[in-house]
């Protein structure tokens, strides 16, 4: 199914210095949801696919108008490849119309970073995730992007190096895994050939399993603490939740966040200087064929879309950007093409295009935070 969104983009001629004025809107039936900040890096494409920010089965019924001093609108997205003159913060506003009726609007900021990083030249990065990370396609792309210019070196920490991982690429990404599994799962007899993994962060303490990130860093990372940790989890935690019972869904997600908080707090109590990036859960394939191929009618796209959208809303509310705690939102749900970024026969796993878009969002966030850390150290 080809999706067409009727779009109109207003680009101001002068540089924006404040968030565009917003008209009051009493309703938001499409549950328009944006993070507070998006990240871009010079000479790298980034953007927003409109289907990803609203809750509807029929995005082609609506008109999206964007106001920004950078970027432009294409058929189904707003996109930008910033240059050096765009470095800095740019207000961004989207309005959604049905006919002439304004249904909703929301603003955010795009932060554009220069490609180079002053100061520190060597960084360590730990990726934690599920099958999207296990596939190693976005870790491969991210490693290549971060190390491309040779001005800095990024070391990927981790015990997991699947066959798809390129030299230098490591992570903690396992198919089917959840926040809870990373916090609690201990496998006394791991069998990697049969995907029987123990959580890399759980060790025996006497005769009982214990979450012990300090021991992980000591044994798996040769004592080197990560400068940055990116976690991309949520799909397996919530895929089977009840999408049609809002209270039950919220309760389910809140239980998941209990395990998330435990892992996050344990990582940060051990690696106190690490900055933590929490990824917003990626959207589903726009085609129903992906769900039919994987689940034979047991799960539909609309069912997962309702869960995924609510999960993103609650991720933003629960985690948010907490600079004082070195925690940040990585808006991985914005810049992934829900159609061209997925194969026709897979519901939630992107193709090479989609994985590269995930890597682009992570790269932009990492460079932004690395530059901020470099500036702080020099002051």
Residues 111-131 have pLDDT tens digits of 999 988 877 789 999 999 999
**Count of CB atoms situated within 10 Å of the CB of 282:** 26
The mean pLDDT value for 144-155 works out to 87
- CATH code at position 64: 2.60.40.10
In a domain, 1, yes or no: no
* 250 assigned to some structural domain: yes
User: Measured between alpha carbons, how far is 73 from 63 in angstroms, rounded to an integer?
Assistant: 12
**pLDDT of amino acid 25:** 43
Same domain as 195, residue 48? no
The CA-atom distances, in angstroms, between 35 and each of 87, 315, 328 are: 20, 10, 11
Query: Which structural domain range is residue 191 located in?
Result: 122-378
Question: Does one domain contain both 147 and 196?
Answer: yes
CA-based R_g, the chain, Å: 21
What are 269-317's pLDDT values in tens digits?
999 999 999 999 999 999 999 999 999 999 999 999 999 999 999 999 9
Q: Are residues 217 and 322 in the same domain?
A: yes
Same domain? 373 vs 266: yes
Q: Are residues 165 and 83 in the same domain?
A: no
Residue 140: count of CB within 10 angstroms of its CB:
20
Say if pTM beats, i.e. exceeds, 0.95.
Answer: no
User: What CATH number does residue 288 fall under?
Assistant: 3.40.50.1110
What number of other Cβ atoms are within 10 A of residue 221's Cβ?
A: 18
**Total domain count for the chain?**
2
Which segments of the chain are extended strands (E)? Answer: 6-11, 37-41, 46-49, 63-68, 72-73, 77-80, 88-98, 101-113, 122-129, 153-157, 172-173, 202-205, 208-211, 228-232, 275-279, 327-330
Say yes or no: 105 and 132 in one domain. no
- Work out the pLDDT band at 376, boundaries 50, 70, 90: low
For the record, the structure tokens of 304 come out as: 């997962």
Q: Are residues 157 and 10 in the same domain?
A: no
Phi, psi of 203 (to 5 degrees): -130, 160
Domain boundary among 113, 133, 151: 113
Task: Judge if 193 and 342 occupy the same domain.
Answer: yes
Per-residue pLDDT tens over the stretch 177-218: 999 999 999 998 877 666 789 999 999 998 899 999 999 999
Place of tokens 């006394």: 188
Query: How far is it, in rounded angstroms, from Cα 82 to Cα 68?
Result: 13
Give the position of tokens 């990697």.
192
CB atoms within 10 A of CB 204: 12
Looking at the structure, do residues 109 and 181 belong to the same domain, yes or no? Answer: no
Domain identity same for 182 and 260: yes
- CB count in 10 Å sphere of residue 22: 12
Classify strands 172-173 and 202-205 as parallel, antiparallel or unpaired: unpaired
């Amino acid at each position: 199914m080809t999706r067409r969104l009727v779009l109109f983009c207003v680009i101001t001629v002068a540089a924006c210095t404040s968030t565009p004025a917003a008209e009051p809107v009493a309703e938001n039936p499409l549950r328009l949801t944006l993070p507070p900040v998006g990240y871009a890096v010079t000479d790298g494409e980034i953007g927003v696919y409109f289907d990803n920010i609203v809750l509807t089965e029929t995005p082609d019924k609506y008109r999206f108008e964007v106001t920004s001093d950078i970027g432009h609108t294409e058929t189904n997205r707003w996109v930008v490849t910033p240059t050096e003159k765009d470095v800095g913060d740019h207000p961004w506003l989207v309005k959604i119309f049905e006919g002439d009726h304004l249904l909703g609007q929301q603003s955010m900021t795009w932060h554009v970073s220069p490609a180079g990083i002053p100061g520190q030249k060597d960084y360590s990065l730990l990726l934690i995730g599920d099958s999207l990370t296990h596939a190693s396609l976005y870790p491969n792309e991210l490693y290549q992007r971060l190390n491309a210019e040779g001005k800095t070196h990024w070391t990927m920490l981790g015990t997991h190096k699947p066959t798809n991982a390129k030299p230098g690429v490591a992570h903690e990404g396992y198919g089917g895994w959840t926040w809870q599994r990373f916090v609690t799962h201990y496998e006394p007899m791991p069998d990697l050939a049969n995907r029987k993994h123990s959580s890399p962060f759980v060790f025996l303490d006497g005769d009982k399993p214990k979450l012990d990130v300090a021991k992980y860093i000591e044994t798996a990372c040769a004592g080197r603490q990560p400068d940055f940790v990116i976690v991309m989890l949520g799909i397996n935690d919530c895929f089977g939740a009840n999408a049609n019972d809002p209270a039950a869904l919220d309760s389910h997600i809140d239980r998941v966040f209990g395990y998330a908080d435990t892992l996050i707090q344990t990582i940060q109590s051990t690696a106190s200087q690490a900055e933590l990036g929490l990824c917003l859960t990626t959207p589903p394939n726009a085609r129903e064929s992906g769900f039919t191929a994987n689940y034979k009618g047991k799960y539909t796209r609309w069912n997962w879309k309702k869960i995924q959208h609510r999960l993103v809303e609650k991720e933003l509310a629960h985690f948010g950007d907490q600079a004082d705690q070195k925690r940040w939102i990585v808006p991985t749900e914005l810049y992934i093409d829900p159609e061209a970024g997925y194969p026709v026969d897979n519901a939630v796993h992107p193709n090479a295009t989609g994985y590269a878009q995930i890597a682009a969002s992570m790269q932009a966030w990492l460079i932004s935070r690395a530059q901020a850390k470099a500036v702080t150290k020099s002051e």
